Structure 1
């Protein structure tokens, strides 16, 4: 799903109407922090899964060599 420039403008206008100009910067900061934490968690999870897959591959490889 891709959002173009017109879609972003529409979203910003709707957010401005709903939250008002005073709360918009605060909302932007909170959204940014949430996205930052989400990306960090995603990277950590990806790293953990990659490590586990590598470990399983090593075990299987060692079992095949010993057979």
Structure 2
């Protein structure tokens, strides 16, 4: 079997079967790494910080 053939077979698998295959091979998939980094939580501003931010923005855009 050629590597190209194996690659085509792996690409044809659904995500669940790909993850099972990667687990059997003992490797981490790129999809697993991407999902971990994409779940970062955004920093939440306090009420005071949000008010300060908005005031600064509106001062810059105020009519002259």
TM-score (norm 1): 0.29
Structure index of larger Rg: 2
Greater share of helix:
1
